[in-house]
Amino acid sequence: MLGTAALAACGSSGTPAAASSASALSQSDIDGAMSKPTTLTFWTWVSDISEEVALFEKKYPAIKVNVVNAGQGSAQYTKLRTALQAGSGAPDVCQIEYQYIPTFTITDSLLDLRPYGASALRGKFVDWTWGQVSGPNGEVFAIPQDTGPMGMLYRADIFEAHGISVPTTWDEFATAAHKLHAADPSVYLTNISANEPAGWHGLLWQANAKPYVMTDSSTITVNVDDAASQKVASYWGELAQAGVISTDPDFTDSWYTGFNQGKYATWLTAAWGPLFLSGSAQATSGKWRAAPLPQWDSSSQVSGNWGGSTTAVIKSTPNAIAAAQFAQFLNSDPDCASLFASKQFLFPSTKALLADAGFTGQAPAFYGGQQVNEVFAKISDTVNPTFQWPPFLDQVATDWTNTVGKALADKTDAVAALGQWQSQITSYAQNQGFTVHTS
Amino acid sequence: MSATTAAGPEAPARARRRPRPGGSRPGAAGPVFVAPFLILFLLLFLTPLGYAAYLSLFQHRLIGGTSFVGLHNYLTALSDPQLRHGVLRVALFFCIQVPVMLILALLFALALDSGLMRLARVVRLGVFLPYAVPSVVATLMWGYLYGPSFGPIAQIAKHFHAAAPNFLDSDWMLASLSNIVTWEFTGYNMIILYAALQTIPRDLYEAAAVDGAGAWRIARAIKLPALKPALTLTLLFSVIGSFQLFNEPYLLQQLAPNVIDSAYTANLYAYTLSFTGQQVNYAAAVSFLLGLLIVVISYVFLFLASRRRVAR
């Protein structure tokens, strides 16, 4: 109740009605708002973010930012949805992962940042990240914070012991999978988790699949069993059925033990993976190396993305200018961006930092001194810029685990499972009032 | 709070025995004593229940918003194969797990009550202790023990060149879940039955012994009939617990996502509908139907138990 009253009051006191006009605000409007004492609430699960926030507060002493950890991922989104539905209690600024942006734009909950100067930042960020935060009519719904371009971490020692050279195409990868498992039945070339729809979407992304395309705000084309998706599903389905890759659930005790004991010779992961692995598989330090994902077409380098976050402004904020400036500063200010990379080890989204030798030149011992960031910085340039997410991602992800993930783990027909996945998504979307097309 | 409410009926009873001229009406204090409970009951129990019932009559769509649909959600739920499978699965779980658990609890209670058991205190505490472990912790622990590649059971089997069954595959999962729940709740049921046994007057045993009855005869002819109300109670709790099975499958889902899908049990299905699919209204209808089913089954058990008592 109170929140609504406050909102109404602010709306009448001259704050421009948010995003109703795409025309830019004048600098004096911005200066005025940034010197007016304001408190912003910022929901994020990035740990120790107070250092970055302090940089902003130093530049704009009138603005106080109240950082709240409202849970990680789904836990935070559930709270955000509840607050949005209740009409009060939502933050001004919020961390949102790329894949969840459409989930919140379909309910019209994110502020278009174009009038607040976001368009000018476009050139600072890696192209594909800008594609991810952009709406169908060119809106800018969030500012990229960090990314997860996908590559391959591999055990150089295992490859060497079995005479396997680093696969550069998926064909070579499949041959290596058979060879390795035949030579040592306790080792699998990789593990494709039956409960990791996010990683799977990264692989779809690399294969240039277009599983979800919103043509207007209530029409969606669902295409999860098109030719590109079938290529990916039949590839992994055949390897799983042959038993030469494993399908263990990831981020479980058993999975960590698998890495430490050398059960998996590679991990197809994102740019945040190298640091994560070095903390989780210490027994294998020095034995890992990084390489790009194997390719479908050897003549071009393409990758997908798995993970990473953005900073978005919630439309209900009474302090739209300050909130938008904060979201922009936090991710585009060079000092702030390099703090994210050096303190929180988030993989950068800005071109400047990805080209910065201080970042790319690091040579961690876990990877035998290889400049892992350099590898992933190059991969970031090859991420396909056109991938789109559906506005009901949670449902799509759960349905994937129940169909395709299950088929991989049960060693049944993964391509047939794509059909089930397609029909489950279709019936859910229709039930939610969407017009669903299959092209 | 239970102390306040327990004192409630006693106060007016005393007043009735010795009426004071000009004193308060008998029973006037009762509602005051019950009020703290009633208010909380109303606020924290009946209000959400009423709100859920209200929600279940609507449908919210991402495109099109909220509309009143009457009993449509209930009709959909009645013909929903996923819900039906979930309910049948927990029914099967109930039929397997509950008899095993209650028979174990009964045996432990009788053994403790017989006074013949060595280290009775240690055994009593040991059997009860799992109940003090939160079910989340218990499931994580068992999940580790069940682990097919690096779990201790699999490791021991490997050491002896034998193959341990994969406790987390589709053939074993229901049995593995039953084992966890049995481990957790046998002690709780044992304590209820043991407490009931303690209330049997000791002179009945002496009389039976004088008539030449042995320990087994006493157990069958005196203890078991006397335990009937307590057994009915544990059975009722088990009906409710089984049909609401959630924590254990929810956590094991992380370890065996291909076996436990999002509609594995009825409660898990309601949770997924609400928190994954944002179908809060339909989830409310599903929950209400599940609640109704539990009430019906509980009533049938009570009815059967009381009829048998009357027939005797």
Q: Do B278 and A392 touch (CB under 8 A)?
A: yes
Q: Between these two residues, A153 and A216, which has the higher pLDDT value? A: A153
Q: Give A144's strand partners.
A: A310
CA distance A306 to chain B (A): 20
Instruction: Tell me the C-alpha distance between B190 and B108, whole Å.
Output: 7
Contacts of B166 in chain A (CB under 8 A): none
Query: What residues of B are in contact with residue A402 (Cβ under 8 Å)?
Result: 261-262
Segment A359-370 mean pLDDT: 96
Return the DSSP state at A95: E
Please, what is the angle between helix B224-243 and helix B81-114, to 10°? Answer: 150
Residue type, A384: N
Q: Do A107 and B257 touch (CB under 8 A)?
A: no
Distance CA B160, CA B28 (A): 73
Q: State how far the Cα of A253 lies from the Cα of B197, in Å rounded to an integer.
A: 44
Look at residues B183, B135, B163, B166 and name the one whose alpha carbon lies nearest to residue B259.
B166
Beta-carbon separation of A406 and B257 below 8 A: yes
- A339 within 8 A of A137, measured Cβ to Cβ: no
Say yes or no to pLDDT of A151 above 50: yes
Asked if the C-beta of A344 comes within 8 angstroms of chain B's C-beta atoms, the answer is no
Residue A406 to residues A398, B176, B179, Cα–Cα distance (Å) = 11, 19, 24
Q: CB atoms < 10 A from the CB of A137, how many?
A: 7
Give the pLDDT band (50/70/90) at residue A9.
very low
Q: Which residue has the tokens 């509309």?
A: B67
- Rounded to whole angstroms, the maximal C-alpha distance in chain A is 74
Which CATH homologous superfamily contains domain A2-147+308-354?
Periplasmic binding protein-like II (3.40.190.10)
Q: Are B248 and B177 in contact (CB under 8 A)?
A: yes
**Rounded mean pLDDT of A301-321?**
96
CATH of B76-311, one of 3.90.1170.30, 2.60.120.380, 1.10.3720.10, 3.30.70.890: 1.10.3720.10
Number of neighbours of residue B29 by Cβ within 10 angstroms: 15
Which of A392, A406, A409 is the closest to B62 by Cβ? A392
Question: A147 is written with which tokens?
Answer: 């990314």
Q: What are the tokens at A266? A: 């590679």
Distance from the B296 Cα atom to the nearest Cα atom in chain A, whole angstroms: 31
The predicted-structure confidence for A52-103, as pLDDT tens digits, reads as follows 999 999 999 999 999 999 999 999 999 999 999 889 999 999 999 999 999 9
Give me the count of residues in chain A. 439
How far A140 CA sits from the closest chain B CA (Å)?
22
Instruction: State ipTM.
Output: 0.85
Q: Where in chain B is the domain with CATH 1.10.3720.10?
A: 76-311
To the nearest whole Å, the CA of B33 is away from the closest chain A CA by 34
What's the Cα-to-Cα distance from A139 to each of A108, A328, A366, A388, A434, rounded to whole Å?
Answer: 12, 15, 42, 14, 22
Please name the member of A253, A401, A405 whose beta carbon is closest to the beta carbon of B144. Answer: A253
Tokens of B44: 């924290």
Tokens of A358: 């201080």
Q: Which pLDDT score, from 0 to 100, does residue A391 have?
A: 95
Does the beta-carbon distance from B147 to A106 stay under 8 Å? Answer: no
Amino acid A15 reads: T
**A241 in contact with chain B, both atoms CB, cutoff 8 A:** no
CB contact set of A326 (below 8 Å; sequence gap of 6+): A40, A42, A56, A63, A65, A92, A93, A311
C-alpha span between A275 and A253 (Å, rounded): 18
- Side-chain-side CA neighbours of residue A208 (13 Å): 8
Q: What is the pLDDT of residue B119?
A: 87
Residues of B in contact with A74 (CB under 8 A): 275
* Cα–Cα distance for residue pair B260/B255, rounded to 1 Å: 9
**A162-195: b or e for each residue (b if 16 or more CB lie within 10 Å)?**
bebebbbebebbbebbeebbeeeeebbbbbbbbb
* pLDDT over 70 percentage in chain A: 95
Angstrom distance (rounded) from CA A135 to CA A146: 19
* CATH superfamily of domain region A150-305+361-437: Periplasmic binding protein-like II (3.40.190.10)
Q: Please judge whether B150 and A261 are an interchain contact, meaning their C-beta atoms are less than 8 angstroms apart.
A: yes
**How do the pLDDT tens digits run along chain B, 312 residues long?**
334 444 444 444 444 455 555 555 666 788 888 999 999 999 999 999 999 999 999 999 999 889 999 999 999 999 999 999 999 999 999 999 999 999 999 999 999 988 878 888 899 999 999 999 999 999 999 999 999 888 899 999 988 988 888 999 999 999 999 999 999 999 999 999 999 999 999 899 999 989 988 888 888 889 999 999 999 999 999 999 999 999 999 999 999 999 999 999 999 999 999 999 999 999 999 999 999 999 999 999 889 888 765 555
Residue whose pair of structure tokens reads 């049944």 in the numeric block: A412
- Measured between CA atoms, the residue of chain A closest to residue B258 is A406
Q: What is the C-alpha to C-alpha distance for residues A249 and A300, in angstroms, rounded to an integer?
A: 31
CB contact under 8 A, A254 and B148: yes
CA distances from A147 to A271, A275, B69 (A): 7, 14, 43
Look up residue B52 and give its DSSP letter.
H
Chain B residues near any Cβ of chain A (below 8 Å): 61-64, 144, 147-151, 253-258, 261-262, 272, 275-278
pLDDT of residue B264: 96
Return d(Cα A295, Cα A170) in angstroms, integer. Answer: 6
The one-character DSSP state at A297 is S
CB atoms within 10 A of CB B156: 11
Find the mean pLDDT for residues A142-166.
97
**Residue A438: predicted pLDDT:** 87
pLDDT in tens, A173-221: 999 999 999 999 999 999 999 999 999 999 999 999 999 999 888 999 9
Provide the H-helix boundaries in chain B. Answer: 2-17, 29-41, 47-55, 72-78, 81-114, 120-132, 135-146, 152-159, 173-198, 202-210, 215-218, 224-243, 247-255, 266-275, 280-311
- Domain boundaries for CATH 3.40.190.10 within chain A: 2-147+308-354, 150-305+361-437
For chain A, report the end-to-end CA distance as a whole number of angstroms.
46
**In this predicted structure, what is the pLDDT of residue B7?**
40
Query: Do the Cβ atoms of B276 and A263 come within 8 Å?
Result: no
Name the band, by pLDDT with cuts 50, 70 and 90, for residue A6. Answer: very low
pLDDT, position B1: 36
Phi and psi torsions of A55, nearest 5°? -60, -40
The pLDDT value given to residue B307: 75
Total beta-carbon pairs less than 8 A apart between chain A and chain B: 75
